[in-house]
A = this chain, B = another copy of it.
Amino acid sequence: MELLITYDVNTTTPEGERRLRQVAKICEGIGHRVQKSVFEVVCTPSQRLHLEARLQATIDASRDSVRVYHLDRGTFGGAKHLGAAVDAAHHDPLII
């Protein structure tokens, strides 16, 4: 299945910065980063469950937001890109 993951993590605290790095790291482990907070993921249904569980356990549900769109096969290829080529990461180091 193809998923598009988008996230907003509240980084007004050092703890938030840490969560942001963790969420990014989790997504990097399974997906292809197309923007700072947007990943394209091709995975199995069970991988999806595992991914969502890890993200849920990482975020602060009162401050952060993750959205998971289940796309039809081929949607990634048809995405239109305007502007700069993909500049992968957040500015922070992603090693945690």
Chain A residues close to B by CB (< 8 Å): 4, 6-8, 10, 34-38, 52, 55-56, 59-72, 75-76, 78-87
A62 to B35, CA, bound (A): 14
A54 to B10, CA, bound (A): 29
Partner of A67, one of B56, B71, B79: B79
Give 21 pairs: A residue, B residue, CB < 8 Å, sorted on A: A4-B4, A4-B69, A7-B35, A34-B67, A35-B65, A56-B82, A56-B83, A60-B83, A61-B82, A61-B83, A61-B84, A64-B84, A65-B81, A65-B83, A65-B85, A65-B86, A67-B79, A67-B82, A68-B79, A68-B80, A68-B82
